[in-house]
Structures are given as structure tokens and as C-alpha cells.
Amino acid sequence: MVKSTSKEAHALFHSLRSAYAATPTNLKIIDLYVVFSVFTALIQVVYMAIVGSFPFNSFLSGVLSCIGTAVLAVCLRIQVNKENKEFKDLPPERAFADFVLCNLVLHLVIMNFLG
């Protein structure tokens, strides 16, 4: 039972990797960016758990800025993905402009909130 599950998991892992290898490079870069910002958020949470959350607004803005960047990057990835039928007539330039605008607003707020 356990063997079959691990075998299946292995097969799944394999097929996931092969499927992911087919994604275009620009999407892969975005993915890397998302992973990086989530990782940064995790580091901050761990730091908060060890040291404490005293300037709570700083902690909050740090974590939310990372999560926000990740979320926005995911949105961008959804929009520029060629396989996504829903966004066929949305040019990638427009998607990127929206992404930049949203990031601007996000980081303006973060800078205000950082204290």
C-alpha cells in the first residue's frame, strides 16, 4: 500500500516536472519571483516568532509587502499565460502596465505604513 502510494507520488512528481518543463521561460521567471517573495515572507515570520513582533506595523508591512508582491505576480502570470483562454485579447504589455501600477500603489502604502 505504502509502496504503491510512494510509487504513484513518484510518478506524479515526474509528470509534474515534465509538465512544468514545458512552460515558457518568462513564466518560469515569474514563478521564481513568486517563490522568492513567499520565501522572504516566511523568513520574516520566523524572525517574528523568534524575536517578537514589537514594531507591529513594520512586521505587518514587511510580510504583507512580500505576500502582496507574490499575489500580484501570480495575477500577472495568470494574465500573460498564453494557455489561459480567458485573457486572450489582453496584450501582455497592458498586463504588465497594470502590474506596475498595482505594485506602485502597494509600495506607496507600505512606505506610509512602515512608520
Partner 1 sequence: MAASETSNGTALRYAFGNVLSFFILLLIGVLAFSIRLFSVIKYESVIHEFDPYFNYRVTQYLTKNGIYDFWNWFDDRTWYPLGRVIGGTVYPGLTLTAGTLYWILNSLNIPLSVETVCVFTAPIFSAFASWATYLLTKEVKGAGAGLTAAVLLAMVPSYISRSVAGSYDNEAVAIFALIFTFFLYIKTLNTGSLFYATLNAIAYFYMVCSWGGYTFIINLIPMHVLLCIVTGRYSSRLYIAYAPLVVLGTLLASLVPVVGFNAVLTSEHFGSFLVFIIIHVVALVYYIKGILSPKMFKVAVTLVLSIGLVVCCAVIAVLVALVASSPTKGWSGRSLSLLDPTYASKYIPIIASVSEHQPPTWPSYFMDINVLAFLVPAGIIACFSPLSDASSFVVLYIVTSVYFSGVMVRLMLVLAPAACIMSGIALSASFDVFTRSIKFQLPGVKGNSQVDAGDTSSEGVVAQNEVAKTDKNEEALKERPSKKNRKKEKEHVEKPFVKAQIKKRLLVLPFEASIIAILLLILLGAFYVVHSVWAAAEAYSAPSIVLTSYSHDGLHVFDDFREAYSWLSHNTEVDDKVASWWDYGYQTTAMANRTVIVDNNTWNNTHIATVGTAMSSPEKAAWEIFDSLDVKYVLVVFGGLVGYPSDDINKFLWMVRIGGGVFPHIKEPDYLRDGQYRIDSQATPTMLNCLMYKLSYYRFVETDGKAFDRVRRTEIGKKHFKLTHFEEVFTTHHWMVRIYKLKPQKNRIRGKAKKSRSKASSTTSTKRSETQRKNPWH
Interface ranges with partner 1 (CB under 8 A): 8-9, 11-12, 15-16, 19-20, 23, 56-57, 60-61, 64, 67-68, 71-72, 74-76, 78-79, 83-84, 86-90, 95, 97-99, 101-102, 105-106, 109-110, 112-113
What the block records as the C-alpha cell of 13 is 512528481
DSSP code of residue 30? H
Residue 69's Cα: distance from chain center in Å? 7
* CB nearer partner 1, residue 50 or residue 88: 88
Non-local (6+) Cβ contacts of 62 within 8 A are 41, 44
* CB nearer partner 1, residue 47 or residue 107: 107
